[in-house]
Every structure is written in C-alpha cells, then in structure tokens.
Amino acid sequence: AQMAIANSNDQAALQGGDIGWRKLAQLPELFGNQLAGLKTGEVTTPFRSGAGFHILKNMEQRGGGQQLIEQTHARHILIKTSEIVDDNQAREKLLVLKDKIEKGEDFAKLAKENSEDSGSMLSGGDLGWSSPGMFVASFEEILTSTPIGKVSRPFKSQFGWHILQVLERRKEDMSEQMKRNQAQNVIRSRRFDEEFQLWLTQIREEAFVEIKSLLEKDYRI
C-alpha cells in the first residue's frame, strides 16, 4: 500500500492502490487476462495499457469455493454395427469377451485385438480420467453405475456397442480450472461485445454516408 501511495499515478493511489472488490467482467480485458489464474497474494509482472504501466496484486478472493468433481478412470471395448454385423451379433460378441475377462483374460489384450475404437484400442481401451459430461449420456450412465473393478453389461451408444471396466475413481478439486474457464468465457464474451459494438458503429457510419449522399445535389458540368 505504501508503495502505491508513493509511486502510483492512479486515482486509487491514496487508498494504497486498492480498487476494491471487482468481478472479472467489471475489469478491462487486459486486467482480466492478467488476473486469470493468479493466486491470492501473487503479483503480476509489469504490463502496459493505453494509460501506462501497471502491476496488480490479488489481495483476496471470495466466492467460487472448492469444486470437488468425481472423476472416473475406465477402459472399454467398442464393436460397431454394419451391413455385416447387426445389433445382436455385436452384443453377443461382447458377451463372449466379457465372459473371457471375468474368467481371467486380460482386458487390455482383448481390447487391442477386438475394439474398433481407433482412439483407445492401442492403449488397451484405456480412456484415462474423465469428468462428468465428457461422454454421451448412454455411455455416462453405465460409467457412473458400474462398480470399481467390474465389467459392465453390453450396452449401445450412438457409436456402437460397448463393454467397459471402471479402474478407479477419485475426487478432484476443479476450482482453479473452473475459475480459469470462467475467466476465459468472460473475456470471449467481452471481445464479442466489443466487436459487435464496432460493427454497429461501422454500419451506422455507412448508413449515414449513404443517406447523406442521397440528400446531396448532383451537378452536371
């Protein structure tokens, strides 16, 4: 605060540079970019705006408390239907694979040999850690209801037929990620508003020029 009083040229200098509580949407875009992801007590590097050079310190944050999200680590095998393979055949094939897994055969090996999901087959069907909403509803429903270590029944999604196995679950604090996402959304929204206002101004100016030209007299010389 003493440094701000002694050195800052801003109107808030006499308050030690304190500009009070502000939402990101209430700040200039440049300030919002600098503050996004800044932890309490941290200070930005010097940056420049049209008004001069600045440094910002995140004095305190409130709201947007801890956001614990349950994440799931799973793997799956996908069999697609086609002119040759119908729903019953795809389902029966997965039932055979499920039986093999439950009798001790390796899920990853069977996924590499049988799965038609090009994105995960080479890694044994491993989908990594996922948060709610990452998959289509039909897949998400089975993913959520399957106990750890168990292999699901065959089920259908828009991509084909699956079986999945849940490997692990964990609670992950997504507060910082959600704050960053929120900040990015605010910045995108502000940019859209600025571009839209600029476009409106240009349209009005063009309309004014067009109307003015219609009102002016023509001279033949």
> Are the C-beta atoms of 167 and 74 separated by less than 8 Å?
yes
Residues of the chain with CATH 3.10.50.40: 68-173
- Joined together, the tokens standing for residue 131 give 């948060």
Higher pLDDT, 203 or 46: 46
Q: What is the mean pLDDT of residues 89-104?
A: 97
pLDDT 10s digits, 10-30: 443 334 445 555 555 556 666
- DSSP helix, strand, coil percent of the chain (3-state; round to 5): 45, 20, 35
pLDDT 10s digits, 115-133: 999 999 999 999 999 888 8
* pLDDT surpasses 80 at 211: no
DSSP-derived secondary structure for 131-168? -TTSS-HHHHHHHHHSPBTPBPPPEEETTEEEEEEEEE
Q: What burial class does residue 171 get, using C-beta atoms within 10 Å of its C-beta: 0-12 exposed, 13-18 middle, 19+ buried?
A: exposed
What is the identity of the amino acid at 93?
A: K
CA distance 68 to 144: 16
Res 136: pLDDT: 92
CA distance 83 to 189: 46
- Give the CATH fold of the 2-64+176-215 domain: Chitinase A; domain 3 (3.10.50)
Enumerate long-range contacts of 155-159, CB under 8 Å, 24 or more apart. Answer: 156/87, 156/91, 159/78, 159/80, 159/117
Higher pLDDT, 86 or 192: 86
Res 201: pLDDT: 73
Which residues are CB-neighbours of 57 under 8 A, at least 6 positions away?
41, 42, 43, 44
Strands (E), the chain: 47-49, 52-54, 68-79, 126-130, 155-157, 160-173
DSSP state of 25: G
Q: What burial class does residue 75 get, using C-beta atoms within 10 Å of its C-beta: 0-12 exposed, 13-18 middle, 19+ buried?
A: buried
Which residues are CB-neighbours of 156 under 8 A, at least 6 positions away?
87, 91, 138, 162
Higher pLDDT, 181 or 4: 181
> Are the C-beta atoms of 196 and 112 separated by less than 8 Å?
no
Q: What is the dihedral of CA 150, 153, 158, 161, to 10 degrees?
A: 100
- Joined together, the tokens standing for residue 119 give 């994105």
Q: Please say whether the structural domain 68-173 has been given the CATH code 3.40.50.1220.
A: no
